[in-house]
Amino acid sequence: MQKHRKNRNVAIIGIGQTALSSHKEDQNQVEMVAEAVRNALEDAGKTIDDIDCVVHGNMELFEMQFQPDMWHALGCGSYGKEEYRITTGGTVGATLVCASDNLVASGLYDTVLCIGFEKLQEGNTTGGITNMADPLWFRNLQTGALTSTTAMELIQKFGKERVLRAAMKYRIMMDKHAMLNPRAHRRLGLEYDQMETLMETSPQLVGELRLIHMCSQSDGACAMILTSEDRVREGTAKPPVWIRDHETSHREENMSNLYGARKPKSTHRDCAERLFARNGITDPLGYFDVFEMYDPSAFWAVDWLGEFLLLEGDEHLRLLEAGEFDLDGKLPVNPSGGVIASNPIGATAMLRIAEAALQIRGDAGGHQIKKEVRHALASGFGGSLWTVLMILEKEPNW
Amino acid sequence: MDLKDCFVVEAKMALPNQFFVGRIGSRWIIAMRDQKKIMGLRCEKCGVTYVPPREQCHRCWSWIADNWVEVGTTGELVNYTVVRYNDKHTPKKAPYVLGQIRLAGADTPLTHIVGDVDPADVYPGMKVQAVFADGPVNTLMQIDHFRPL
Amino acid sequence: MSRYYGTTVDDIFDTMPERFQPQEAKDVDVVVGYECGGEGGGKWRLKVREGAMAVEKVEGDLGPCTATVFAADAETFIGVTLNKIAALDALTSGKLRITGDASLLMNLLPRIFKPYRVPGPAPVTARDIVAGMADRFRPDKAAGVSLKFAYDLTGEGGGRFTVAIADGRCRVTEGLEKDAAVKMTMEASTFVGLMTGTMDATAAFTSGKVRIDGDMGAAAATGRYFDRYVPPDAPRVEELLSLKKVTSIDQRFATGPVMGKWFAGLRERKLLANVCPVCRRTMIHPREVCASCHVRAGEYVELGPEGYVTNYDLVYYASPDPLTGAVRDTPYACAWIMLDGASPEEAFAFEIKKEDLPRLKIGSRVRPVWAEKTVGSFRDLLYFEIID
């Protein structure tokens, strides 16, 4: 079966974000989304009339609002245009970009605007997650997305002291990156010498998962403009960032099936194996210059670094401990501060791609990586450990 | 397929929410609450006055957040429907009239309840008047309903 | 003194007695310790017992407390109290720490104390408000109106005034004119509350706080002709509206024959799984189709009843129920259990008996404990307990 063959290449030419915070009381959802759209258009040097199609998404019902795209039509610029609505849970931000990539690559549309948003202050996260669970059985068991099972597994494999230190090192590293990113939501100013204190005093949530390890809940929107290579040739306001390829792995099973006697292959590794093989990338750690990973918690982040980069044994821990994932390391991870610093869920996965694209463009600002960034990797996460993985390139040379 | 064990589970979908009106919406409602005035925002480029107001014209994408204009508290009923069923989510007991009212000076109709009239006597083109709520309601229902002029 | 956000830490504690709501503290028996570091800080001990409270500033050791709050500095303590600093951020960064029963602080204290509000600027008097009435008059709303009404405002900051509206003009004079259509008598503080919108008019009238002599209709009409009063030194903060609701939708879900059979199994104290004819995995709870092999799984087997724990979550923080706000008893544990006979990737997740939590380990062997009466529902299975 012929798959993944694009009719033409697609580039990101516009990126817009709103500031991310916990409380946007002076804006309603439409206005918030419109702000991101305006920023994206300005970044791309385009007007709303240049957009052929709008792709809109968030985590359905997290604001307790059904079909918000209808309400947002006034702020999306989709009046008189075709619009698609996508909801895939936490991965939706990335799926929006994948879908937009497919739409432009297919030839159906030349320029697509994709928008991811979340205004959690208006809803109830626990309610949203409860409403996602199978109502016949799992709704009664819901703990609301907090889990320490991965920490347990890591501790079984590598020892408690080492794992707790690795998670805390990762957390502080993320905060240090966030401190350089004025758009990040939570910037706490943590220092490495606080490690011991935080490990002991941060309130326990579930098992080894403490408050310090968890991502935030933010309000915000992100919009991106994608266009075809013909249009890029006509001229762009900023350097284009090329979407080379993407892969999605959403598994069927519920959380029950993830922690049996034998664990199934993680969707992260599954995605990475297929995506890299298809693109002839045998050494992802060496190939990529930056990785914006969707990291909802420090323990998951530590585990998934190994999964995404196809590492074996404790190599991912050794690299983390040696500082190779820092801004000046071999493969900087989340220079933006990642999801632990800012999490407007429907936009979060898109922000990973946006931040990776900004790194390639060289205009990320304070958290820009000093070395040239030519190859970027971005991931999205959702639900029962689903994954979207995307490769971005500075030049269309594959 | 053996169907003898099929049954129904009752559940509730929880929807606690808080809606932030935003700066523009707040000003609109507060003007109705404190000054009994109905305001709109005008896009000069398109020649359209929007009621309820919005900070950006969705047609031409101009920023219109500062172009406040006052529209009348009377208007014309563009069209209407009569709601004849009861549900815990409906605002009034059936039958009641839900109408689209184009206020004097506005170019977009406002959806609201038309009361103080027998539904059978309502017709498109009917002239109506806003009846404001007495105390602070802080929602669209700061206008309690419209009644025939 | 260290002032932050317009107030001091001391003021928060000094106002505790007046903010206390004894009716909410009927079954409460707690001691809460507070320690705030730096300038303007200190230690306080709050006791709530038998519907009464006592708070005192303490030197030295706080002694045994049900829960203790540590704030790094006065700014953090005041900021979090006033919601200017997100408690979550302060907890995460370590500037705020809680030992002992944290859920107590989060659920109980907001219930038994009215929220703290920063004392405002010098309070406005009734006299101030009446004096400005002529400026707030709306002639456009009073076209053709001829009305005289009087206020008798008793108590501090009050006085007697007559307001006359005629020919599109408004005049305010001292004293009560005899030909006023209506006279409204109330305490000056009630008048201020009504005019600033902090007191509900209907409630004031109904509860007898306002006495009306004369034309009721005229009394009701007076508000119509004036713009609302806004205190002059109130910060020009834009009023932003929001609407908060807790709604729910009733739902009815059909189990279908597969899930129905699962519940029927529970009723007979059996843990059923169905088996994929191709890959032989045992799906619990059963699903109609094996998603890996895309075939229907028609064969059923009984698993367990015993099994062993492969992983577990010990939950300390339970999210409040979105509809009721109720919070589950913590800690509780949700474990992943490999039931005897299950295929290696198919664990079953369920709760563990509360008393067994201290000795729960990966590898613990467990067995289900059923309700006395099983009817075919989620509640038939109470929990799993450790087998000795």
In whole angstroms, give the CA distance from residue A309 to residue A269.
8
Q: Would you call A148 and C313 a contact, using CB atoms and an 8 Å cutoff?
A: yes
Indicate whether C140 and C99 sit together in one domain.
no
Could you tell me if C315 lies within 8 Å of chain A, comparing CB atoms? yes
C235 has pLDDT over 50: yes
Residues C267 and C220 in one domain: no
Residue of A114, A62, A121 lying closest to A89 (CA atoms): A62
The length of chain A in residues reads 398
SS (H, E, C) C169-213: EEEEEECCCCCCCEEEEEEHHHHHHHHCCCCCHHHHHHCCCCEEE
Put simply, the answer to whether A28 touches B55 (Cβ < 8 Å) is: no
pLDDT (0 to 100) of residue B49: 97
pLDDT greater than 70 at residue B64: yes
Domain residues for the domain of A103 are: 10-125+217-233
Q: C residues 248-277 near A, CB within 8 Å?
A: 251, 253, 255, 259
Q: Which two tokens stand for residue C14?
A: 């000094």
- Kindly state whether residue A134 falls inside one of the protein's structural domains: no
Question: B13 CB near a chain A CB, below 8 Å?
Answer: yes
Half-sphere exposure of C151 (CA within 13 A, CB side): 27
Query: Which chain A residues are within 8 Å of B16, Cβ to Cβ?
Result: 64, 123-124, 127
Which of C:40-59 have CB within 8 Å of A?
none
From the candidates A24, A74, A117, which should be mutated to test the interface with B, based on the most B CB atoms within 10 A? A74
Q: Provide the domain count of chain A.
A: 3
Q: Domain containing A100 — which CATH number?
A: 3.40.47.10
C132, C174: one domain: yes
Residue A70 phi, psi dihedral angles, 5° rounding: -65, -50
Q: Over chain C, what is the mean pLDDT?
A: 87
Residues A71 and A160 in one domain: no
Contact C251 B3 (CB under 8 A): no
Let me know whether C261 and C382 are in one domain.
yes
Same domain for C36 and C137: no
Residue A49 maps to a domain: yes
Do residues A106 and A204 both lie within one domain? no
Q: Which of C55, C89, C112 is the last residue of a domain?
A: C112
Of the candidates C241, C251, C253, which has its C-beta nearest B21's C-beta?
Answer: C241
CB B142 within 8 A of CB B35: no
**Separation of alpha carbons A241 and A239, rounded Å:** 7
Domain count, chain C: 3
pLDDT band at B96; cut points 50, 70, 90: very high
Helix (H, G, I), strand (E, B) or coil at C217: helix
Say whether C91 sits in a helix, a strand or coil: helix
The radius of gyration computed from the CA coordinates of chain C, to the nearest angstrom, equals 33
The separation between the first and the last C-alpha atoms of chain A, rounded to the nearest angstrom, is 21
Is residue C101 within 8 Å of C67, Cβ to Cβ? yes
**CA-to-CA separations, C129 to C151, C152, C191, C219, C231, in angstroms, rounded:** 12, 14, 9, 17, 8
State whether A117 and A43 are in the same domain: yes
Q: Which residues partner with C173 through β-bridges?
A: C162
Find the length of chain C: 388
Residue C85 lies in a domain: yes
Looking at beta carbons, which residues of chain A come within 8 Å of C240?
A: 25-26
Residues A282 and A368 in one domain: yes
Q: Quote the minimal CA–CA distance from C335 to chain A in Å.
A: 9
Q: Does C374 lie in the same domain as C285?
A: yes
Domain final residue pick, C225, C242, C277? C225
- Residue B15: closest C-alpha in chain A: A64
The pair of structure tokens assigned to B52 is 């309820």
Query: Residue C144: its pLDDT value, please?
Result: 83
Are residue A258 and residue A195 in the same domain, yes or no? no
Q: Categorize the per-residue pLDDT at C211 as very low, low, confident or very high, splitting at 50, 70 and 90.
A: confident
Give which of B103, B86, B95 is closest to B28, Cα–Cα: B103
Report which listed range, A239-248, C69-78, C220-229, is most confident: A239-248
Q: Is residue C74 part of a domain?
A: yes
pLDDT digits (tens, 9 = 90+) for C275-308: 999 999 999 989 999 988 999 999 999 998 999 9
**Contacting residues of C for B20, CB less than 8 Å apart:** 240-242
Asked whether residue C296 falls in the same domain as residue C359, the answer is yes
Same domain, A251 and A341: yes
Contact C238 B23 (CB under 8 A): yes
DSSP H or E segment with residue A226? strand A219-228
Cα distance between residue A231 and residue C65, in whole Å: 68
CATH number at residue C218: 3.30.1050.10
C107 plus C133 within the same structural domain: no
Interface test with B, best of A18, A30, A136 (most B CBs within 10 A): A30
Specify the pLDDT at position A1.
47
Show residues of chain A in contact with B25, CB under 8 Å: 28
Range of the domain at C271: 256-386
H/E run at residue C251:
strand C242-254
- Determine the pLDDT at residue B111: 97
What residue ranges do the domains of chain B occupy? 21-148
In a domain, A347, yes or no: yes
Count of CB atoms situated within 10 Å of the CB of A149: 23
A261 and A193 housed in the same domain: no
Residue of chain B whose Cα is closest to the Cα of C200: B135
CA distance A74 to A56: 13
C319-339 pLDDT, tens digit each: 777 777 777 888 899 999 999
* pLDDT tens digits, one per residue of C99-130: 888 777 777 888 888 888 887 666 678 888 88
Same domain, A102 and A174: no
Token readout for C356 is: 């067994």
* B10–C240 CB contact, under 8 Å: no
Q: Single out the residue in A180, A203, A233 at which a domain terminates.
A: A233
Closest by Cβ to B15, choosing from C249, C253, C256: C249
DSSP state of C106: I
Between positions 170 and 229 of A, the ones with CB within 8 A of C are: 186, 188-190, 194, 197-198, 201-207, 211-212, 216
Regions in chain A scoring below 50 on pLDDT? 1
pLDDT, residue C203, reads 61
Chain C CB contacts of B23 under 8 Å are: 238, 240
Two tokens at A323? 């500082």
C1 pLDDT above the threshold of 60: no
Both C135 and C183 in one domain: the answer is yes
In a domain, A130, yes or no: no
Any residues with CB less than 8 A from the CB of C325 and at least 6 apart, and which? none
Residue A300 lies in a domain: yes
The residue type at A339: V
CA distance A11 to chain C (A): 35
A375 in the same domain as A321: yes
Q: Is C93 on the interface with A (CB under 8 A)?
A: yes
Q: Tokens 């497919």 appear where?
A: A102
Residues in chain B: 149
Please tell me whether residues A102 and A196 are part of one structural domain.
Answer: no
Ordered alpha helix ranges (H), chain A: 29-44, 68-76, 92-106, 125-132, 149-158, 160-179, 195-201, 229-233, 267-278, 284-287, 298-308, 315-321, 338-341, 345-361
- How far is residue C289's CA from residue C297's CA, in Å, rounded to a whole number? 6
Domain assignment of residue C357, yes or no: yes
Which of left, alpha, beta for A343 (phi over 0: left; psi -120 to 50: alpha)? beta
C 277-296 → A contacts, CB under 8 A:
284-285, 291-292
Do A76 and A225 belong together in one domain?
yes
C308 and C334 in a single domain? The answer is yes
**Residue C155 domain flag:** yes
Question: For residues A389 and A276, what is the distance between their CA atoms, to the nearest angstrom?
Answer: 10
Residues C139 and C198 in one domain: yes
Residue C132 confidence (pLDDT) above 90: no
**Shared-domain flag, residues A14 and A117:** yes
Domain membership of residue C232 (yes or no) is no
Of C240, C249, C260, the CB nearest to B5: C260
Report the percentage of chain B scoring pLDDT > 90. 79
Residue A322: CB atoms within 10 A of its CB come to 11
* Spatial distance between the Cα atoms of B56 and A33, rounded to a whole number of angstroms: 12
Using one digit for the tens of pLDDT, what is the confidence trace for A26-48? 899 999 999 999 999 999 999 99
Q: Which residue of B has its CA nearest to C252?
A: B10
Question: Both C274 and C175 in a single domain?
Answer: no
- Lowest average pLDDT, out of A81-90, A127-136, C176-185, C253-262, goes to A127-136
